[in-house]
Amino acid sequence: MVPRPRQLILRLLLGAGGAPLSARDAVRACALFAIPANGVRVALVRLAAAGLVEPVERGAYRLGPSASTLAADVAAWRDAQARTTEWSGDWIAVHVGALGRSNRVALRARGRALGLLGLRELDRDLHLRPDNLPGGVAAARERLTRLGLQRDAAVFRAGGFDAEHERRARALWDGKALARRYRATRVRLERWLAQAHRLDLDAAARESFLLGDEAIRQLVFDPLLPRPLVDEQARAAFIDAVIRFDAAGQAIWKGFLSDTPATRRRPVPRAASRTTVENRR
């Protein structure tokens, strides 16, 4: 799927770790996806007007205040495995029945916040997730509010369900399907790394962006379920593969943006492309 210029610019800034992005580099990056330069400039103007980016110097931009909160939360994907604790069997619950439904902006922010924390709807307006995140309910409430959930929402610990509600709660996620996705994405990333040295730099930059963006999005929205709801080892191996792929992708994009003859000849050194696909099957 070809990214829109707005999405691509924001993804590049998210991956830059606070470093600015020049308009020239934004145009070069978008050209990889056949996005015209005029469309890039329009996107930069609109992103700046929305406070999602801000100029740091002439022709260079960084993430703006409207994107900083979400950016900080999304950037934590590298520490996903460390953001879980042992599960006692209790649940983090959010009830949104008292909140309005007419404000579309608020509804989108609410849905995004609930999704980023892996909450699912058990009954109308009642959303749950296992209470296995560090800081428990208090930390979850603070994070949800920071991400856009209205402060009027009730966020609390739930437990002691009858057998039927407990069964339904545990069935909100398909743990086997999650594990299959972990394994499939890991193998796809590792196979790409194994052959990346055969690609020219433009192709490597384009493909690494598309594959990496999809994998990181999968991880950002992963519910981080505990045992026995999911295979934690499969998730750990998936996270490790995404981290290694992201490091390779960062190196490829650094070479692409620096545009030197040496980097264009070999985007990924053969030694850096070695994987452990066979060992991990």
Q: Would you state the pLDDT for residue 274? A: 45
69 SS3 class:
helix
Asked whether the beta carbons of 161 and 117 are under 8 A apart, the reply is no
- Of 187, 171, 170, residue with least CA distance to 234: 187
> What's the pTM value of the predicted model, to 2 decimals?
0.85
Query: Could you give the 3-state DSSP secondary structure of residue 130?
Result: strand
**Which residues 6+ apart lie within 8 Å of 260 measured at CB?**
none
Which pLDDT value is given to residue 83? 84
Q: How crowded is residue 249: how many other Cβ atoms within 10 Å of its Cβ? A: 26
Distance CA 265, CA 120 (A): 48
CB 190: neighbour CB atoms within 10 A? 20
Produce one character per residue of 200-232: b if its CB has 16 or more CB atoms within 10 Å, e if not.
ebeebbbbbbebbbebbebbeebbbbbeebbbb
pLDDT band at 272 (very low <50, low <70, confident <90, very high): very low
Give Dmax over CA atoms of the chain in angstroms. Answer: 66
Alpha helices per DSSP H over 16-64: 23-31, 37-49
Q: N- to C-terminal Cα distance for the chain?
A: 28
Sheet holding 154-158, edge to edge: 120-123, 126-130, 91-95, 154-158
Q: How confident is the model at residue 260 (pLDDT cuts 50, 70, 90)?
A: low
Give the model confidence (pLDDT) of 139-185 as tens digits: 999 999 988 898 889 999 999 999 999 999 999 999 999 999 999 99
| Strand, coil or helix: 61 | strand
Model pLDDT, residue 19:
83
The pLDDT tens digits for 183-209 are: 999 999 999 999 999 999 999 999 999
C-alpha to C-alpha distance for 35 and 142, rounded to whole angstroms: 39
Identify the pLDDT of residue 270: 54
69-73, 113-117, 243-247, 251-255: lowest mean pLDDT where? 69-73
Q: Would you state the pLDDT for residue 268?
A: 56
Report the side by side order of strands in the sheet with 21-22.
21-22, 60-63, 53-57
81-136 per-position pLDDT tens digit = 888 999 999 999 999 988 877 788 888 889 999 999 999 999 999 999 999 999 99
Residue 11 has pLDDT above 60, yes or no: yes
% residues pLDDT > 70 (the chain): 91
Angle at 159 (CA atoms; ends 113, 179), nearest 5 degrees: 55
CA dihedral 23, 26, 30, 31 (to 10 degrees): 60
